[in-house]
Copies of this chain bind each other. A is one copy, B any other.
Amino acid sequence: MPLFNKVTTYETIRPLFFDGMTLLFGGFGGVGSPPGLVDCLIESGVKEVNLVGNDAGFPWIGMGKFICLERAKTLIASHIGSNPVAGELMNQGKLKVEFSPQGILVERIRSGGVGLNGFLTEIGMGTKLEYNKPRVTIDGKEYMYEAPITGDVSIVYARKADTFGNLVFDKTARNTNPYVAMAGKITVVEADEIVEMGSLNPEEIIVPGIYVKYIVPSEGYNWKWIWEMPDKLSRNAPPAK
């Protein structure tokens, strides 16, 4: 099935990124963020990027590396506490951050990814995280409307991909990746291992390949656990890669 082979190189991916784009990324504290694709994004030179992901990573892990370069314009995330540079940029007005409750954020990405038009919740009502979200009254009860999120490009990390893009994940590196994969107009997967179609058990496939446009091989990550870092939360922490 030659047409179903989506494996390509980072050189092919680089031009997919553009200034001002909306980029969705998988990962939770950097775990499950695709390290090679973050580097590819950095090398692409794009700026003014609108990021959507669980968090700002650490300054040397996950999307944190890109955020530290001051080339993200906005970030929708549930927290940025692990990346003090993101906090500095926010306080300096260089990065506009919209905080979302963690599970609500992944549901917003899912809502976009499954072609629905957003959902209602009580969570966050009356708090600063309400921003200007519309309120909707149903049967006399008021809820907050959460809009769906989709992106121009989604970048995702998987343990294994077959050449069609069927994906399986690894432990807590799964996190938001399945929904990020569904919500991108173009979804690019970085996989630790790329296998032939038929190698994955069809019951265990978490993301069917239908959502995946491109697959690149991972060269792995080389970061350290946070307590192994000499200067834990500094922007000057030595990048491992």
Residues of A whose CB lies within 8 Å of any CB of B are 107, 111, 114, 116-122, 134, 136, 138, 143, 145, 147, 168-171, 201, 203-204
Out of B117, B143, B169, B203, name the residue touching A169 (CB < 8 Å).
B203
The smallest C-beta distance from A17 to any residue of chain B, in angstroms, reads 28
| Bound form: Cα–Cα A29–B120 in Å | 31
Which chain B residues lie closer than 8 Å to A170 at the CB level? 203
Contact of A171 with B203 in the complex, beta carbons under 8 Å: yes
Contact of B138 with A145 in the complex, beta carbons under 8 Å: yes
Out of B107, B121, B168, name the residue touching A203 (CB < 8 Å).
B168
Which chain B residues lie closer than 8 Å to A121 at the CB level? 116-117
| Bound form: Cα–Cα A114–B121 in Å | 11
| Bound form: Cα–Cα A138–B147 in Å | 9
Query: What copy number does this chain have within its complex?
Result: 2
- 7 closest A-B pairs by beta carbon, nearest first, are A119-B119, A117-B120, A204-B204, A117-B143, A118-B120, A136-B136, A116-B119
The smallest C-beta distance from A158 to any residue of chain B, in angstroms, reads 12
Which chain B residues lie closer than 8 Å to A145 at the CB level? 120, 136, 138
| Bound form: Cα–Cα A145–B136 in Å | 10
> Can you report 11 residue pairs joining A to B where beta carbons are below 8 Å apart?
A107-B116, A116-B120, A117-B119, A117-B121, A117-B143, A118-B119, A120-B120, A136-B136, A136-B145, A138-B145, A170-B203
| Bound form: Cα–Cα A15–B225 in Å | 52
The smallest C-beta distance from A23 to any residue of chain B, in angstroms, reads 23
Contact of A117 with B111 in the complex, beta carbons under 8 Å: no
Closest to A143 in B: B117
Closest to A201 in B: B204
Which chain B residues lie closer than 8 Å to A204 at the CB level? 201, 203-204
The smallest C-beta distance from A96 to any residue of chain B, in angstroms, reads 20
| Bound form: Cα–Cα A204–B206 in Å | 9
The smallest C-beta distance from A63 to any residue of chain B, in angstroms, reads 25
The smallest C-beta distance from A178 to any residue of chain B, in angstroms, reads 13
| Bound form: Cα–Cα A201–B203 in Å | 12
